[in-house]
Amino acid sequence: MGGQENGHVKDGILERLAKGPVIGDGSMCMTLEKRGYCRAGPWTPEAVLMYPDAVRQLLREYLRAGSDVLQTPCFYSSDGLLESRFKGKKTQFTSYDLNQAACKMAREVADEGDAIVCGSLSPVLSYFKNKDMEGARKEFENQLQPFIDNNVDFVLAEFFAHVEEIELCVEVIKRANKPIAATMRIGPMGDSNGVSVEECAVRMARTGAEIIGINCLYDIHTQLKVIKRMKAALDKEGLKPYLMIQALGWLCPEVENNLTGYLALPEAPLDLDSRCLTRTEVHKFARDAWEAGVHYIGGCCGIEPHAIRAMSQELAEERGRSPPTEDMTPAFSKYLRESMISYNRFKADNKDHWFNLRPGTGRLKNPATSDVYEDCSFDMSEDL
């Protein structure tokens, strides 16, 4: 089922999930923006064509950090959104070209190691603007076709705000005859139509997707609360899909009960650095997620390579392997023993030191939380 490397057939996603923790990849748009290759806000996937070396490099860093899966870097690459983005400009990029390039690039890097490729679909404008189910179906089909043509290893529907849209999306995906994952970007308040966390979980599982869960918008502490509620609801119905979290890379407790999550912060999207998870905080999250029954643990916005590495290192024993860069970057670096700083030598490979630390913020005049923008919502201004 999985990809091939040197004639060896790799395990597919379901085989991997059956064996233990699977580590996903991390942030693409937000990280490429910091590196200078992507626009902030109206994220578009054109970097895959414009700056392939930079995108390939980032994918490679995730591979080296221990990712089992590389997603095709084509978020929001759907007809409606691309059209809207390039309205009034000489459109340069089609969904088909972008997704083709994304598939080839993901496969190329995945085959430098043991990773497999996941084709990723995201919400579409037809549903968002008009709840037009037929238009949405068509957009999903167009997103999906390159994944079929390029024989990705499985398909993911991600970042959905409405359970009825993801139900439709999964229905379309079935045509590919691949394992299916489905994640919503919801918090404790449930979906944007008011469907509860519990009902979202049950309905996602009932689509037949083998893997369900959440991604983005809420911080890891909130995400853990939500996934536990999902699990309890699934258990009650006797449903047993694999659970998945794509973690957000920033702490933002104040938006837990806001429908747009971290996007309601004044710092988003350009000034979130002070909220970045440390890698030890990621270690703890990976452990907590695994203990909560989550088998697929990866990253979303803000999770950079060292954070993915922290996940794969924390669960190295359960996975039976460490990330390929272990010789350069072991967890809680044993190489600190060779430091000229006495205190560094004390910290070397000293998990207790790192786990007992509550990292300072360095900011004497800054608050723990910001004033959240109450009216923040996903919408479309007249002229978009």
Q: Minimal distance in Å, beta carbon 83 to its own copies?
A: 13
Tell me, what amino acid is at 74? C
Interface region with its own copies, contact rule CB under 8 A, candidates 16-24, 157-165, 207-215, 300-308: 300-308
Tokens standing for residue 284:
């703890």
Residue window 37-76: x/- pattern of binding to its own copies, with contact defined by CB under 8 A: xxxxxx----------xx--x---x--xx-----------
Q: Minimal distance in Å, beta carbon 51 to its own copies?
A: 9
User: Which residues 176-205 are close enough to bind its own copies by CB under 8 A?
Assistant: none
For its own copies, the closer of residues 101 and 173 by Cβ is 101
Tell me, what amino acid is at 353? H
Q: Is the peptide bond before 269 cis (omega within 30 degrees of 0)?
A: yes
Contact 157, 214 (CB under 8 A): no
For its own copies, the closer of residues 111 and 219 by Cβ is 219
Task: Give the residue carrying structure tokens 């990773």.
Answer: 115
Residues in the chain: 384
Q: Minimal distance in Å, beta carbon 351 to its own copies?
A: 11
Tell me the site size for its own copies, rule CB under 8 A: 92
Tell me: does residue 370 bind its own copies (CB under 8 A).
yes
CA 14, 119, 28, 124 dihedral sign is: negative
* Strand, coil or helix: 128: helix
For its own copies, the closer of residues 7 and 368 by Cβ is 368
Comparing C-alpha atoms, which of 303, 248, 308 is closest to residue 283? 308
For its own copies, the closer of residues 128 and 147 by Cβ is 128
* Strand, coil or helix: 225: helix
Q: Minimal distance in Å, beta carbon 265 to its own copies?
A: 7
User: Which residues 328-367 are close enough to bind its own copies by CB under 8 A?
Assistant: 328-329, 332-333, 335-345, 347-348, 353-354, 357-367
Strands 4-5 and 8-9: antiparallel
Among positions 253, 257, 318, 351, the unique one binding its own copies when judged by CB under 8 A:
253
Q: Minimal distance in Å, beta carbon 50 to its own copies?
A: 9
User: Which residues 100-159 are close enough to bind its own copies by CB under 8 A?
Assistant: 128
Q: Minimal distance in Å, beta carbon 380 to its own copies?
A: 6
Rg (CA), the chain: 20
State how far the alpha carbon of 345 is from the alpha carbons of 288, 327, 340, in Å. Answer: 28, 18, 8
Between CA 284 and CA 268 the distance in angstroms is 25
Q: Minimal distance in Å, beta carbon 41 to its own copies?
A: 4
Tell me, what amino acid is at 172? V
Phi, psi angle pair for 138, to nearest 5° = -65, -45
Among positions 106, 124, 268, 315, the unique one binding its own copies when judged by CB under 8 A:
268
Comparing C-alpha atoms, which of 145, 154, 148, 214 is closest to residue 178? 154
For its own copies, the closer of residues 177 and 342 by Cβ is 342
For its own copies, the closer of residues 134 and 368 by Cβ is 368
User: Which residues 206-245 are close enough to bind its own copies by CB under 8 A?
Assistant: 219
Q: Minimal distance in Å, beta carbon 248 to its own copies?
A: 10
* Strand, coil or helix: 381: coil
